[in-house]
Structure 1
């Protein structure tokens, strides 16, 4: 829907206006055994963020998200509105991300990312970030699988445009949230809400394992605005076609997804690209019909 031009971020009035729908979403989630937590009004018109409770099993976390999206769509239809999970549905506003918070436990159930009191970051969390940075470029097709996904990566759009990492910094791709040391984790921010959570989980965990096994240095932390600096590190593709090419040729992604899934996933994305590439859009007519 259209807006007057001002943002609606954290607007309580907008939340109250949608309360009948949100109440039904929470009720449906509860019946499905899904622990839906905080709901906030976000930056774009009609954009809301819903947090899911932390799961120890990454497959269960992916199940929760997929089932919740179906509940949201169903309840939205019942209330006469449309639930949209495009990564960038409105041209002039920020898109919608799927931020994935991840930590690791040892056999005793201890968080291996958590530092000891008074000490700096553990080597484990730093190497995990190093692995995620090193593999992000060839994994971007998983995090941004469609053409519309790439419209989300615009400067100052709250979506990361590099592999930068930092602490409590929402301009970076990999963020370490401050707070209770027992909850120490990495927030992986590149994925759009249109991405497949099962593939995201597999790819992120494989990147973490790659970094830990190879003791990869994450490089310096970005402390300022990551949009204003060009942090040293592996490049990431800037468009959908480049992401497809990198994914097709990635041994890492073959290992992370398995050869059969890798072949199927990249083939579907290539077929989708071919269909979009031969489609004449209204933008073509606007730019070229009367001018060339």
Structure 2
């Protein structure tokens, strides 16, 4: 609460600027890392518009921050020992009559066949999607145990320790929350990946594993790669994502990321000098 008060003028200006630009900014909440906040966008029924809102909101936040004499960053891991920043996406599907197909089974949120199959597709393709969800070197520093980031392809009901959460609430608002991507993700590629995975689950009728009850970190060992090189290898060999997103796109994306990774390998960090210069 004290940090919300400390940044009250910035948050108020942010709300006013969003209103002036027609961006559907909802609440701004304080998160656990220093100077870390969560900004929520009101849902839209158009995926492309949701991505546009995300990009425009980032630019807006950076601009308002500069007006107040500081910088805003969307790095996934700005502080090595603190929790990183993620991009959580809430998704539901409506049919041609406007009905939420995830609510097809009444009051039991975990018994909807469509919801289970959508979750099954997301979990199956998640390991091979990591290069899209974590697009740079800093992205992978976020995946550390004990810092509120999913480490395995897991799901559950109203469980914030899993990768895919089904939030509590009325059945009309039943949805899936995808919790893996970092704040640095390209929102267009994130939404394309999420929708392609859901499409895969529905068309192939993929059944997920049992939902996690309790702390997923204590029950499931880390399985999602935190290696940038391995993530690119997995993406390049996944034919479902290649077909859904386009083989040409995947080839160009991987080539660009590999070139960026090659540049990072030529940089020697201060920590390496401190650890190894005189000791090896």
TM-score by length of 1: 0.92
**Cα RMSD between the aligned structures?**
1.4
Q: State how far apart, in whole Å, the 1-side matches of 2:95 and 2:47 are.
A: 15
1:167 is displaced (CA, Å) by: 0.7
- SS of equivalent residue, structure 1 residue 38: strand
Answer whether contact 2:139 2:184 (CA < 8 A) is retained: yes
The residue number in structure 1 matching 2:75 is 86
Answer whether contact 2:32 2:83 (CA < 8 A) is retained: yes
Question: Aligned match of 1:139 in 113, 118, 129?
Answer: 129
The residue number in structure 1 matching 2:116 is 126
Structure 1 residues 60 and 140, CA, compared in 2 at 3 Å: closer, same or farther? same
Q: State how far apart, in whole Å, the 1-side matches of 2:278 and 2:148 are.
A: 36
Q: State how far apart, in whole Å, the 2-side matches of 1:291 and 1:123 are.
A: 58
The residue number in structure 2 matching 1:187 is 177
The residue number in structure 1 matching 2:58 is 69
Unaligned runs of 5+ in 2: none
| 1:179-210 alpha-carbon deviations (Å, 9 max, x no partner) | 11111000000000000000010111010010
The residue number in structure 2 matching 1:114 is 103
1:112 is displaced (CA, Å) by: 0.5
TM-score by length of 2: 0.96
Structure 2 residue 161 is matched with structure 1 residue 163? no
The residue number in structure 2 matching 1:247 is 235
Structure 2 residue 259 is matched with structure 1 residue 271? yes
The residue number in structure 2 matching 1:34 is 23
Structure 2 residue 12 is matched with structure 1 residue 23? yes
- SS of equivalent residue, structure 1 residue 287: helix
1:171 is displaced (CA, Å) by: 0.8
The residue number in structure 2 matching 1:3 is none
Answer whether contact 2:107 2:171 (CA < 8 A) is retained: no
Q: State how far apart, in whole Å, the 2-side matches of 1:156 and 1:172 are.
A: 13
| 1:226-275 alpha-carbon deviations (Å, 9 max, x no partner) | 1112279xx53231111011112221221232223212211111111111
1:137 is displaced (CA, Å) by: 1.0
- Runs of 4+ in structure 1 off by over 4 angstroms are none
Answer whether contact 2:141 2:226 (CA < 8 A) is retained: no
- SS of equivalent residue, structure 2 residue 98: coil
